[in-house]
Amino acid sequence: MLRSLPLAALAVLATGCGDSAPADDAAPTDATSPGLDLPAAIAGAGGELEGTDLHYVDGDALTTGYLAVPEGAGPFPALVIIHEWNGLQDRVRQLADDFADEGYVTLAADLFQGRTGSNREENMALVQEAQADQAGMIANLNAAVAYLKGRPDVTGRVGAMGWCFGGGVALSFGLDGDNHEATAIFYGRLVDDPEVVARLDHEVYGTFAALDQGPSPESVAAFEAALQAAGIENDLHIYDDVGHGFWLRVDEDPEVRTAPAEDAWQRLKAYLDRTLGS
C-alpha cells in the first residue's frame, strides 16, 4: 500500500528545506577551499553543465530529467537522484555531473514536470501536488530506473538518492518502487513501523543532522529501531552541530559543515560501492 505524507509532517519538512534552499543555487562561489574531498557541486564550486536533458517518462513531454554519463565504455552502475522541494535545480544537475565523474550513470529525476519554485508558497504547492499523486511519483521513478537498466552502458544495478523532500521520496521508492539495489536518504521523512520497512530488500544509507526537526534525531532513532527490528542492514548517522540541508550546501557554512560533509561523503561512497559496485 502506498502511504502519502500527512500535511503536518509535510509542513515540518518543507520548513527545513526552505531554510537553506534558494530558488537556483548553481552559481560557483569563491568561498570554497580547493582540495576538499567533496563533490564540487555541494561545495558551491560546480562547473558548467556537462549532461543532457532527458524525457524518460513515455508520453510525457513535460517531465524533463538530466542525464550525466561517465567517460569510457562502461558498463557502469547507475543512480537516480531526487531533487528537493523547489524542483530540479542546477545544483542537483551539477551533482549528477559529479556522480558521473565518480563512475555512475546518473539521472536527476524531475517530479514536478519541468516546474521549479522560487519561494516557500510555490515550493509547498509543488510538493503538495506531487504528494497527492504518490502512485505517479513512484511510476516516474520506476520509469527512470527502467531507462537506466535498459542502457547498454549500465551494469543493471541502480540506486536512488534524495535530499529533504527527495530523501523522503527515495525511502518511499525503496518501499514501493520496482527493483533497485540502493536507497540513500539525506534528511528526508522517515517511517517507524517495522512491518513497513520490512518491504525494503537492500541496505539503507542515511545522513541526518542533530539540529534538524525534519526529521528530528528522535525520528531517526525510531527509524533505525524499525530497520533493526525488521532485519534491514543500515548505515545511519546523525551529525552534531549542523542542521537541515548541510550536505548539499556546504558553502553556506564551510567552517561548520565541511568535516561532517566529508565524513558523510566517505560513508556514501563506501555504501554505493557495497551495494552497486564501481
Domains of the chain, earliest start first: 7-276 (3.40.50.1820)
CB neighbours of residue 237 within 10 Å: 14
* Position 133 pLDDT exceeds 80: yes
Task: Kindly list the strands in the beta sheet with 76-82, ordered across the sheet, starting from the edge strand earlier in the chain.
Answer: 52-54, 65-68, 105-108, 76-82, 154-163, 182-186, 204-209, 234-239
Q: Which three three-digit cell numbers place residue 261?
A: 560533509
Euclidean distance between CA atoms 61 and 140, whole angstroms: 13
Amino acid 9: pLDDT: 40
Q: Which three three-digit cell numbers place residue 25?
A: 543555487
pLDDT tens-digit series, residues 40-74: 999 999 999 999 999 999 999 999 999 999 999 88
Which has the minimum average pLDDT: 16-25, 38-47, 140-149, 175-184?
16-25
pLDDT tens-digit series, residues 72-119: 988 999 999 999 999 999 999 999 999 999 999 999 999 999 999 999
- The chain-wide mean pLDDT, for the chain, equals 89
Confidence (pTM) = 0.89
Amino acid 122: pLDDT: 96
